[in-house]
Amino acid sequence: MNDARYGLWTAVATVTACTATAATAVTTPPRSGPYCRSGCIGYPYTEAAAFVPRDYVWMYPALLTALLFVVLAVCLHGRAAPGRRVLTGAGVGFAVTGAATLVADYAVQLTVMQPSLLSGETAGLSPLSQYNPHGVFIALENVGYATVGLALVFLGGGLAGHGSRPIRAAGAVFAAGGALTTAVLVLYGAIYRARLDYRFEVVSMLITWIALIAGGLLLVVAFARAPRSPETGT
């Protein structure tokens, strides 16, 4: 299988996993924090056992999306023109960092929080709970998606001027999504300060999903059109 085929199937898998993440996450209602409107649970969030596994389903495709994003970033680095590989290389580095943060975050929820809640072993779990609007889970998601945003900016910059129009368009989508995520972080941080809670997390996820789905679809087109032995940067 040549590089274009790896890129094609990685883009398809990324779009599919990201779409599944978005579909399951947006149908999971907020149970606490600033966006909760009814049936809210409060500290220490031990009532969350009633929502296992329903509220954790979206994390499975989200974890897969994070891993696939790293592979996609590597594929794009291989397609970048030599003069742009410093940018895409930085993008790969940020992608690895962001994905590692998110994978660790989701793994704790899926393998520690779920069984602990179901077993009634809730002592000391409140800082780790996804329902804690200023807990460890939200903090790691903020770091993870902010870093993924930086990865998108660098990958997008590295794809600017590429010979393939769909790849250039995907790069523009990535750069715009990453820049918007960074801008939202600065804006929300200035407005809400210590009361940021999960506001940035929600917006950053939505922006990232839109960028990965839209940009990923453009990459599917680009890789599907690529010749068997594509020259770098064409």
Rounded distance, CA 192 to CA 6, Å?
Answer: 43
Instruction: Summarize pLDDT for 63-103 with one digit per residue, the tens.
Output: 999 999 999 999 999 999 999 999 999 999 999 999 999 99
Rounded distance, CA 55 to CA 29, Å?
Answer: 8
Instruction: Summarize pLDDT for 100-114 with one digit per residue, the tens.
Output: 999 999 999 999 999
In this model, does residue 233 exceed pLDDT 70? no
Position 1 confidence tier, pLDDT thresholds 50, 70, 90: low
Query: Residue 228: its pLDDT value, please?
Result: 57
Are 44 and 53 in contact by the 8 Å Cβ rule? The answer is no
Rounded distance, CA 100 to CA 144, Å?
Answer: 8
Whether the upstream peptide bond of residue 53 has omega within 30° of 0, thus cis, is yes
Give the domain ranges of the chain: 3-28+45-225
Which residues are CB-neighbours of 83 under 8 A, at least 6 positions away? none
Element (H, E) at 44: none
Instruction: Summarize pLDDT for 24-77 with one digit per residue, the tens.
Output: 999 999 999 999 999 999 999 999 999 999 999 999 999 999 999 999 999 999
Phi-psi label, residue 45: left if phi above 0, alpha if psi -120 to 50, beta otherwise: left
pTM of the model: 0.94
